[in-house]
Amino acid sequence: MPKVEINIPEHLEMQITQLIDEGEFINREEAIENLLSTGLKAYKTSGPMDDDADLEDDGVMGDDGMMGHDDEYVF
């Protein structure tokens, strides 16, 4: 498996350490691998974050970012 070295902000390091301490992950390697994998899957599924701007331009989403619903949660 390829090795990658990154620098992350202190607050992210603290969150990863907390997840390990809480037993969510066995060690840092497992935590980072799983979190990165989950993030990539979510990104691939939803696409780049600027897709919302395209929806607003197309009139699909309102000015408040909602899809024409007053509910807080829209699925």
Whether residue 74 lies inside any domain: the answer is: no
Per-residue pLDDT tens digits for 32-72: 999 999 999 998 887 665 555 554 555 544 455 455 555 55
Number of domains within the chain: 1
The predicted model scores a pTM of 0.56
What residue numbers bound the domain in which 42 lies? 10-57
Would residue 65 count as lying in a domain?
A: no
Distance CA 35, CA 62 (A): 32
Does residue 70 lie in a domain region?
no
**67 belongs to a structural domain:** no
Predicted pLDDT at 61: 47
Residue 3 maps to a domain: no
Q: Tell me what pLDDT residue 44 has.
A: 85
Is residue 17 one of the residues assigned to a domain? Answer: yes
Distance CA 61, CA 48 (A): 16
